[in-house]
Amino acid sequence: MTTNEFVNDLKSLSLTQSENDYIQTMERLLIHLKDATPNGLLEDKPFGLSLIDNLYRVIPVFDKKLSSQNAESHVTNAFLETLYNACRVTCITDLFLALKNSSHLEVIFQNYVSLLKEEYFSADKQYDYLASCLINIMVISSVFIYIPEDQLPSDYISHSLAFTKKYWQIPEREQLINQILMSMKIFCKKPKLVPTIVYHEWPQACVQWLTFPGRRPSYNIDIHICYIVQKLARCTIGVNVLNQLNCIKALGDSKDRMKKDHSADEYSTIDFIQSIIYALLVEADEIKENYLLADELMCHILEQLVSLIFNAIKSDLLTHRGFHITEALVVLSKLFVNDDILKKCLKDSNELFDCLSQFLIRFAMPISESTMSFQWMRDEILTTLTNLFWSISFHQFSHEKFQSNSNLMDVLSNFANSSSLYVTTREPSFPLDLCSLKKAAEGILWNLKFLHLPSSTDKSCQEQQESSIMISYSHSDSKFCHELVEHLSQHVSIWVDYKQIHSHAIHSDDLWEDIAGAMEKAIMIVLIVSKDYYESKSCRQELSYASDTLKKRLLPIYAPNQQYRANGWLGIRIAGQKYVHFGRKPFVDAANDLLSIVHSDKKLVLPVKPIQKTVEQQENSFQNWTSKDIQKWFDDNRIHRDLFTLIGEQFSTGTALLIYARHLKQFYRQEYVQIASNYSSKFDGKHLQTVDFIIFVDALWRLYEEQKSSMINYESTKSREKEKSI
């Protein structure tokens, strides 16, 4: 039987066939499948691709045949079992790599993503091979393509979790459980999909499985659970959730049981993954405190990471002990935020800098068509390496190493000037908090003084702009920054990057000269202090230039609910500076304190502050809100326009909006489900993006808390006035 004959037989399967015809056709298909794939689908690549391109058409037929226990279901399951064995992960991965066509893989993903049904995850094992084949094809194809959040099969995420919770320790269901866990591991490596996975509470389930007190499940299940946690820990949202669940303690609690129930080699691999998780979850300031006390665990982790890098570079597949080199690079890029770890790591391994340099040069070279399929990992390697070098370049001791390596400097210059040549349209699998290739390369050159920015002191007086204060902040604090700028702009001239972006319609990667120029003209730099600011290399670069080079006056401020205490490079630069904490008094009072400090600088001439509205006036103003005011509030908070159409248009007064905020606070989960359903109905099946909903909820809760605080202040003021009158 030829491939075409096989495909024609496959297409001929239907629910209208007689039982004998169906069984005879399936037996022919089974024989040919066994002959064509003795060692998997890679044995005959054209056959394997033709099979996958056409299999989805007959899944409804297989579904129906498997619903009854008879000869038809028996032969169907025999075919699916053979197919499952031929579709092992390594085989199908290599098959898709050989395809070198992302458009083809997108079609494959779309054909299979909607086929998984809830009934496939049930007490009946009849569907296990069917579900396993579908998951394998869907998930492996997703590795090489971009998947928007609204295309993630959320029903599959929830149904598969419920199934796994019920059967994760049942050996008879291990095959399907492994496929489910493998799929979640791959989905978790895509940062844009992590919020949905977190919403469905996969992190909670993984931590519960880790701390299960009884005998551990098989090694494959345990290793996949650890992999899921490790992939989640690559993203900020995953770190936050896992730390709330006290995941580090869960890892410690699971060690003895895993060591007892698994072989020495198996436990060694699990222990390494758990070490990576620990390094990704532990906070930067904790790393410093522990490391200075000779934390043996952290020393052990660093040794393992460096060893993985050295050994993986020697491998054609860039792997060692089953780990790709990018896993170690991502962890090091996070750990190198801490200066003590960075210095120790480079000191203990003198060859590390040269090794990473050669690796970067190697992957920066133009790639041939034969290796184009590996572009997906090339992006991650180049981005993580450049971010690593950016961290290193903040230290003077490294500058000679950079400058003496002309090939490395040429590569970095190319990245800074022509980074579009090194960027694909594929969704990045590296954490979103890593900076872009261009930005990191420019940051390195800046630190090495290879980027010379024109000083404002060299310009004529006619080119001088009005003196201002500049706001330096991490984009994770952008909401507070917008609120602050809106208030301060009424009193002083403000320079902030997002206004510059809007006015020039340029990408933030191209703002280095604008930022430097703004710092040079500014009388004062107001920095919004936070943990994210400390961990941002962009913020470090801004502040280093302002403080160390320009010797500018710094004014640190803290947003409400900010518990972070400045340490490391940030703590050194703002130590002893007068600061303002917006969490210790009402916003207007704190803003006035900030303005008072700015006014005290005699070099800045400022207009007289307008009279602030009283609390009573503010309260009355909110109560008098109209539909236009509500629409303006949605726009000011950058809430998606669809949500205003769906929800905002229903309110005509500020009081009604406040009552809804209180209701949403009490019934958050139920309201999300209802809004998501209404959203889909109103906008023709379109999915509500999780981020859009979070932005709306955050703004609404802040409004509720502000108005509640205003009411308390108002009542307190009225009470004092009453006491005075008595």
CATH no. for residue 494?
3.40.50.10140
Residues 6+ apart with CB under 8 A from 215: 257, 261
Q: What mean pLDDT is reported for the chain?
A: 82
Q: Are residues 479 and 595 in the same domain?
A: yes
CA distance 420 to 464: 33
pLDDT score of 716 more than 70: no
pLDDT score of 613 more than 70: no
CA distance 657 to 650: 9
Q: Stretch 591-612: mean pLDDT, rounded? A: 63
Q: Are residues 433 and 358 in the same domain?
A: yes
Q: Stretch 418-442: mean pLDDT, rounded? A: 61
Any idea which residue has 């929830």 for tokens? 158
What is the domain count for the chain? 4
Q: Is residue 376 part of a domain?
A: yes
Q: What is the pLDDT of residue 291?
A: 47
Q: Is residue 520 part of a domain?
A: yes
Q: Stretch 512-538: mean pLDDT, rounded? A: 87
Q: How confident is the model at residue 601 (pLDDT cuts 50, 70, 90)?
A: low
Q: Is residue 335 part of a domain?
A: no
pLDDT score of 147 more than 50: yes
Last residue of a domain, one of 81, 114, 146: 146
CA angle 482, 484, 487 (to 5 degrees): 110
CB burial string 486-499: b at 16+ within 10 A, e below: ebbeebbbbbbbee
Q: Which two tokens stand for residue 66?
A: 């498997």
Q: Stretch 255-280: mean pLDDT, rounded? A: 92
Q: Stretch 262-278: mean pLDDT, rounded? A: 92
Cβ contact 288:531 at 8 Å: no
pLDDT digits (tens, 9 = 90+) for 336-373: 888 888 888 888 888 999 999 999 998 887 654 434 44
Q: Are residues 565 and 689 in the same domain?
A: no
Any idea which residue has 């090091």 for tokens? 332
Q: Are residues 647 and 555 in the same domain?
A: no
Q: At what angle do helices 478-488 and 587-600 cross, to 10 degrees?
A: 60
- 476 in helix, strand or coil? helix
Task: Assign 3-class secondary structure to 521-541.
Answer: HCCEEEEEECHHHHHCHHHHH
Q: Is residue 535 part of a domain?
A: yes
Q: What is the pLDDT of residue 16?
A: 92
CA distance 249 to 74: 47
Last residue of a domain, one of 103, 119, 146: 146
pLDDT score of 714 more than 70: no
CA angle 17, 19, 25 (to 5 degrees): 70
Higher pLDDT, 609 or 515: 515
Higher pLDDT, 351 or 292: 351
pLDDT digits (tens, 9 = 90+) for 629-681: 888 888 888 788 888 888 888 888 888 888 888 887 777 777 877 888 888 88
Q: Is residue 698 part of a domain?
A: yes
Q: Are residues 538 and 581 in the same domain?
A: yes
Q: Which range marks the domain in which residue 637 is found?
A: 623-724
Q: Is residue 101 part of a domain?
A: yes
Q: Is residue 244 part of a domain?
A: no
